[in-house]
Amino acid sequence: MRRLLLRSTLAAVVATLAIFGGPLLVLGLVVALLPSERRARIVDTTSGVQGVLILTGVVLALSLLGLAVGYVVAQRRSRALGDPLTELAARAERLGAGESRFMPLNSGIGELDRISDVLSRSATQVTRNLAAERDFAADASHQLRTPLTALLMRLDEIASTDDLTVVQEEAQVAIGQVERLSKVVDDLMGRTRVSDPSRPSVSLDAVLASLQREWQPAFAATKRSMRIHGERGLRVRATPVALAQIVSTLIENALAHGRGTVDIAARRAGPSVVIELGDEGTGVSPGIAPHIFERSVSSSGSGLGLTLARDLAEDNGGRLELVSTQPAVFAVFLSEADD
């Protein structure tokens, strides 16, 4: 921009000097090349009051012409600098008003183009941050809703009975749910996509038994049941909170969109442990099945919950798949722990 301003100033000055200097130089050359007699007559003509008036008129005309040419040059140069600045300000204003995209400016002025590039990168980063924040809020809402719902069911059980033994049992389960809810919050606050090679060894039997106790009131309210079977004594590499959240999401999905008994089976498959969960419902329609783990899909048992469950499985070195559509059967693949 400094170079452009310097060139603009020099162009205006040179144009003005050319208006003055050009005619004077030409006049001087012409007079110098004339014969001595004609030069004498010219000198006599330009002497006295008449000569002063002629020279004044010429200087005034050249001055006006120089000013006009300088004004035209300055106008063109100012537009070359001002128009990109105006456009950059307009785009920045639209960005501040909420427009998510910022088209880079290609003005040919290095400083302005660099500012435009910085604004474009900043707009892209802001858009990504906003999308990440919205996703985090949606993820937090869903991950907290399931344990809160289960906790509310336990509290309802406590409130509706006078049996102290039942109250104590339900209270112990509720305490465990509160602890798991606290761990879910901690997990959300420290959530990362980087794979953690030091994932702990978790007893699958313990996690499934705990989830069966938590979901028992919900199944009883709908007059449905949950069946857990398969190999016993299996251990997997995963964080307990993530494993419980994955299976809870699948249970909630089957309870909301399926029918009959929810069947959970665990088995070894090479170096992995597979947890399969299905029900006796009609399953997933062929149109939704290919997109069931997409965040935008929100019917027939898919949607945000399954998206989170899949992400949590991947974060723990595993994967979540829909292995059967009719009936719907989901399979969680996790690495088996050696110990």
Residue 309 has pLDDT above 90, yes or no: no
Residue 279 has pLDDT above 90, yes or no: yes
Beta bridge partners of 229: 265
Question: What is the reported pLDDT for 234?
Answer: 94
Cis peptide before 327 (omega within 30 of 0): yes
Q: Give 152-195 pLDDT, tens digit per residue.
A: 777 877 888 778 887 787 787 777 777 777 766 666 666 544 44
Task: List the 226-230 sheet strands across, edge first.
Answer: 226-230, 262-269, 272-278, 328-335, 319-325
List alpha helices for 34-109, DSSP H: 36-45, 48-96
Say if domain 193-335 classifies as CATH 3.30.565.10.
yes
The C-alpha R_g of the chain, in whole angstroms, comes to 41
Domain residue spans of the chain: 2-99, 193-335
What is the model's pTM? 0.49
Question: What is the reported pLDDT for 129?
Answer: 64
What average pLDDT score do residues 103-128 get? 71
Question: What is the reported pLDDT for 2?
Answer: 52
Could you tell me which residue, 27 or 291, shows the higher pLDDT? 291
What integer best gives the mean pLDDT of the chain? 75
Question: What is the reported pLDDT for 137?
Answer: 65
Asked if 14 and 65 count as a contact pair (C-beta separation under 8 A), the reply is no
Query: Among the listed ranges 115-124, 163-172, 199-208, 211-220, which one has the minimum average pLDDT value?
Result: 115-124
Copy the structure tokens of residue 261.
């008994």
Q: What is the sign, positive or negative, of the torsion defined by CA atoms of 152, 156, 159, 164?
A: negative
